[in-house]
Amino acid sequence: MQFMIDAPLDMHLHLREAEMLQLVAPLSAAHFAGAVVMPNLLSPVDSHQKLSAYRQAVVDAAGDDSFTPYMTLFFRPYTKTELETVRDHIIGIKLYPAGITTQSEAGVADFEAIGETVALMEELQIPLLVHGESNGFVMEREREFLAIYRWLAKSFPRLPIIMEHITTADTLDILDEFPNVAATVTLHHLMLTLDDVVGGLMQPHLFCKPIAKTPHDLQALQTAVFSGHPRILFGSDSAPHPTHAKECCGCAAGVFSAPVALPKLVELFAAEDRLDMLADFVTNNAQRFYGISPGPKTVHLQSKAWTVPQAYGTVRPFLAGEKIQWQVTAIEK
């Protein structure tokens, strides 16, 4: 059996910097026509100068693949002039609560102080991408953040808002309440519950933020994705860390899924007899919501098993050592 998909997009991707960027960028560029690149570097991407430099580094690392990096700025108070200057060079601005995940220490500590910048973003139609977690109990952080999502959606009804890497059933309710809100869902959150992470021995390479939740939440996400919700987009949240940073005390949060994301998604959708919905999830919904048109790239896959390598350089991938029943066989650019 064969399957092909035009211009697949990854709407939430961590490419890091320096040697890690060189390692992982080609792996995403190989299968995807474009990706939304996260700005939480050691020195956050929060200026036009940093943005231009990082975009060039991503383009150089991706090589000659037909791949568009959709760049983001790290949320901070911006002037209208600053936003007007970068508006045509970014797909959105990424908001992190302070300290909530990797390299987010410079994130938002006081949500009552963000209104002026968010209002400017609404005026200029710059999407707001949000890591939606509180600093509360780890299993309740996303649910506790729902009040902020509702406040943003009601207060700024013309602002495109993207709830990143959602994990809970009740977060899906926001999509039904507000037409200006979309969400990304990861591959690993379509497959895992907390039991997979810590039910037996701790599995550090499955540990991420937000953490995988309950079977009820997993079922709700799967139902929404496989039924073709028009404002749910694929975002891998592929987040590489070297093995020594995962297999240690203070395990870094992140699942590195870039090399396996597309073939595993095809396997999951085929198993549900919903391959007809996959194009919406991995390309069409994103193009409609963001108003983007990625360059030409057609990925051909075949139902032929392959074994995921144990490592790509210094990084252990999601599903390492396991068999995936579909593989990429050709790419047209």
Region of 16 please: left (phi>0), alpha (psi -120 to 50) or beta: left
Q: Which residues of 94-131 are buried (b: 16+ CB within 10 A; e: fewer)?
A: bbbbeebbbbbebbbeeeeebeebbebbbeeebbbbbb
* pLDDT tens, position by position, 192-238: 999 999 999 999 999 999 999 999 999 999 999 999 999 999 999 99
Give the pLDDT score at 64: 76
Q: What is the mean pLDDT of the chain?
A: 97
Q: Which residues contact 64 (CB under 8 A, 6 or more apart)?
A: none
Q: Is 237 a catalytic site residue?
A: yes
As beta bridge partners, residue 129 has 94, 162
Give the pLDDT score at 74: 98
What tokens were used for 241? 């860390």
Domains along the sequence of the chain with CATH = 8-291 (3.20.20.140)
Q: List the one residue out of 165, 208, 210 whose CA is nearest residue 184.
A: 165
Q: Does residue 18 sit in helix, strand or coil?
A: helix
* pLDDT tens, position by position, 237-276: 999 999 999 999 999 999 999 999 999 999 999 999 999 9
Task: Choose the catalytic residue: 60, 237, 276, 280.
Answer: 237
Give the pLDDT score at 92: 98
* pLDDT tens, position by position, 114-134: 999 999 999 999 999 999 999
Give the pLDDT score at 258: 98
pLDDT band at 6 (very low <50, low <70, confident <90, very high): very high
* pLDDT tens, position by position, 43-65: 999 999 999 999 999 999 999 77
